[in-house]
Amino acid sequence: MTPPPNSISSRNVAVIGAGAAGLVAARELRREGHTVTAFERQKQVGGLWVYTPNVEPDSLNIDPDRTIVHSSIYQSLRTNLPRECMGYSDFPFVTQPDDETRDPRRYPDQREVMRYLQDFAKEFDINEMIRFETEVLRVEPAAENSREWRVQFRSSNGVSGEDIFDAVVVCNGHFTEPRLAHIPVLLSWPGKQIHSHNYRVPDPFKDQVVIVIGNQSSGSDISRDIATLAKEVHIAAKSDAYEKESSIYSNLHIHPTIDRVYADGSVVFQDGKVVFADAIVHCTGYKYCFPFLETNGYVTVEDNRVGPLYKHVFPPALAPGLSFIGLPSMALQFFMFEIQSKWVASVLSGRVKLPSEDKMMEDIIAFYAKLKSLGIPKRFTHFLTNPQWTPMFEKLKPHEAVLISQTEYFNWIAEQCGSPSIERWREEQYNIAIKKDDETFRDEWDDDDLIEEAYRDFAKIKPTKVCCST
């Protein structure tokens, strides 16, 4: 139910991070009438999409006292979704034919995504809300029984400070703290090991035999990138992907998962095959991590489940003062950031009401119970996708698939805050892209009808809100 106009409130809100989630959160919060301060540790917007050749000195990211590099982007990265469906709903990610420095490809490189986010920030005057080169050290309730939040921070010149806010929106991303494969005596293996977080270019692997653990998006891309220079690349994959061999790279081989490793440098796969390797690259994903957040143990991360969270966003006992944007993985990210931000902004203003704390907890407990009954591991709590096109979930029945359906999730949030949900063409483009597992999908496609439908929608948007650089 929508409250009367005189009950709409303006809040003083902190946004942690100025990547793709933080940028659109800042915009939606300001659109709703809130005062926004965004904190960004880097000197520019972009978050994940800011490329740096720098890597961490600890290649497996095990040392808790290591110097942390927050980018996980590799130089050759291209998007695994077409640009039309990647962009925010009212700021299309279109090509820039008048600018020769831009990447015109439908599946562009990481630099083009970065430029798009810079354009977005410029178009909506978001930079003026951001404190750049400012690291958030601690976020905590300002006082016991207080609805306010204290944010402690430190700038790049060493100056520390703190401010009090009515609410904090956490948008710090989840591609910085790596997960490693659980393989017996792996850490005693004598060869070189790195996590994909520290992968940038294939040059260090020239003429080597390399094992790549994982065959999802980054594993597939990185293995092919390394194969351009390596002697051999062997992918250890969990699914039946190991039955498929590369049609382009004769030196790329796919196996089932690793069974064990030995001190002589050998790696034994589950099917008994043995490879003597020089290096192992872990493309095994990331862990959620909020080192700055202090909630007296209320919000926890357990086996990659951040909880308790109502609809992946609000911790019931701390809502609406604390919220998270962008936790679900696999979903259509930029659109999800935008629609979650609209919901958070409207809840903070009082235009949209949350259920009671007890009702939210009941919903969360029921959600966790359903995941368990379906055999979905805790670490997949924040997976959102279209299950029928995702191998690990394709056996779910329709009424079960609702649990992790991004479409159902988007529709539910859109209804809450009175905004349009995902367009048909955007959903279909996503569905087509996540089904692709060949090596040429970024340059060959057969969905021109969906492209035309997207551009008809883009034409309805005011020209000043279409991505362009000057």
pLDDT of 65: 82
∠ Cα 123 129 132 (to 5°): 105
Enclosing domain of residue 232: 186-282
Q: Report the b/e string of 193-202 with b at 16+ CB within 10 A.
A: bbbbbbbbeb
Question: At residue 431, does pLDDT exceed 60?
Answer: yes
Place of tokens 């003083």: 12
- Give the type of residue at 387: P
| 231-259 as b/e: b if 16+ CB within 10 A | ebbbbbbbeebbeeebeebebbbbbbbbb
The answer on 116 and 239 residing in a single domain is no
In a shared domain, residues 115 and 203: no
The residue written with tokens 């019931």 in the block is: 316
Report CA-CA distances (Å) from 436 to 40, 185, 216, 431, 442: 35, 35, 11, 9, 9
How many domains, the chain? 2
Say yes or no: 116 and 260 in one domain.
Answer: no
Confirm whether pTM is higher than 0.85: yes
Domain presence at residue 119: yes
Report whether 466 contacts 92 (CB < 8 A): yes
Each residue's pLDDT tens digit, 282-319: 999 999 999 999 999 999 999 999 999 999 999 999 99
Q: For 90-145, what is each residue's pLDDT tens digit?
A: 999 999 999 999 999 999 999 999 999 999 999 999 999 999 999 999 999 998 77
Confirm if 300 and 307 have CB atoms less than 8 A apart.
yes
DSSP string for 272-327: S-EEE-SEEEE---EE---TTB--TTSSEEETTEEES-BTTTB-GGGTTTEEESS-
Q: How far apart are CA 26 and CA 36, in angstroms?
A: 6
Give 27-67 pLDDT, tens digit per residue.
999 999 999 999 999 999 999 999 999 999 989 888 888 88
206: in domain: yes
Neighbours of 63 (CB within 10 A): 10
Residue 384 lies in a domain: yes
Residue 245's pLDDT is: 55
Tens digits of residue pLDDT in 71-87: 899 999 999 999 999 99
Scan for tokens 């699914």, then name that residue: 239
Do 267 and 319 have their domain in common? no
Amino acid found at 231: K
313 and 261 in a single domain? The answer is no
For residues 230 and 202, give the distance between their C-alpha atoms in angstroms, rounded to a whole number.
Answer: 8
Alpha-carbon distance 213 to 183, whole Å? 11
- Tell me, yes or no, whether 241 lies in a domain: yes
Q: Measured at the alpha carbon of residue 26, what is the angle toward residues 21 and 28, in degrees to the nearest 5?
A: 95
Residue 470 pLDDT exceeds 70:
no
- My answer on whether 171 and 196 are in the same domain is no
Residues 118 and 193 in one domain: no
The reported pLDDT for the residue numbered 242 is: 47
| Bond preceding residue 53 cis, omega within 30 of 0 | no
Question: What CA–CA distance (Å, rounded) separates 47 from 114?
Answer: 9
Residue 248's pLDDT band (boundaries 50, 70, 90)?
Answer: confident
- Residues 169-178 have a mean pLDDT of 89
Nearest alpha carbon to residue 75 among 105, 104, 114, 43: 114
DSSP bridge partners of 306:
301
Residues 259 and 359 in one domain: no
Residues 6+ apart with CB under 8 A from 250: none
The domain boundary, picked from 282, 299, 333, lies at: 282
Within a domain: residue 409? yes
| Count of C-beta atoms within a 10 Å radius of residue 274 | 11
H/E segment holding residue 325: none
367 φ, ψ (degrees, to nearest 5): -65, -50
Name the token pair of 201: 């270019």
Beta carbons within 8 Å of 351's beta carbon, 6+ residues apart: 2, 3, 8, 32, 417
Q: Do strands 258-261 and 286-287 pair parallel, antiparallel, or not at all (unpaired)?
A: unpaired
Can you give the pLDDT at residue 116?
Answer: 98
Q: Do 321 and 440 sit in the same domain of this protein?
A: yes
Does residue 61 sit in helix, strand or coil?
A: coil
Query: What is d(CA 333, CA 22) in angstroms, rounded to the nearest whole number?
Result: 12
- Cα-flanking dihedrals φ and ψ of residue 35, to 5°? -95, 130
Structure tokens given for 225: 């990138």
**Do residues 323 and 428 share a domain?**
yes
Beta carbons within 8 Å of 307's beta carbon, 6+ residues apart: 299, 300, 315, 364, 368, 381
Give the position of tokens 């809040």: 11
CA dihedral 66, 71, 72, 77 (to 10 degrees): -150
pLDDT value of residue 244: 55
Q: Does residue 80 fall inside a structural domain?
A: yes
Query: To the nearest whole number, what is the mean pLDDT of the chain?
Result: 91
% of residues, the chain, pLDDT over 70: 94
Average pLDDT on 238-242 reads 59
Q: What is the CATH number of the domain that holds 300?
A: 3.50.50.60
Within a 10 A sphere around the Cβ of 180, how many other Cβ atoms?
A: 17
Look at the block and give the residue holding tokens 């050749």.
53
Which pLDDT does position 253 carry in this prediction?
A: 94
Ranges of H-type helices in 72-177? 83-86, 110-123
With beta carbons less than 8 A apart as the criterion, state whether 208 and 82 touch.
no
Q: Which residue has the higher pLDDT, 315 or 437?
A: 315
Quote the tokens at residue 353: 């009401």
Give the pLDDT mean for 353-369.
98
Regarding whether 163 and 311 lie in a shared domain, the answer is yes
Phi, psi of 156 (to 5 degrees): -65, -20
The token pair at 171 is 């948008």
Closest CA to 416 of 355, 331, 365: 355
| Same domain as 167, residue 24 | yes
pLDDT digits (tens, 9 = 90+) for 439-468: 788 999 999 999 999 999 999 997 654 444
- Of 282, 307, 339, the residue at which a domain comes to its end is 282
Query: Residue 4 falls within a domain, yes or no?
Result: no
Structural domain ending residue among the three candidates 228, 248, 282: 282
Is the pLDDT reported for residue 241 higher than 70? Answer: no
Residue 67 lies in a domain: no
> Residue 41's Cα: distance from chain center in Å?
18
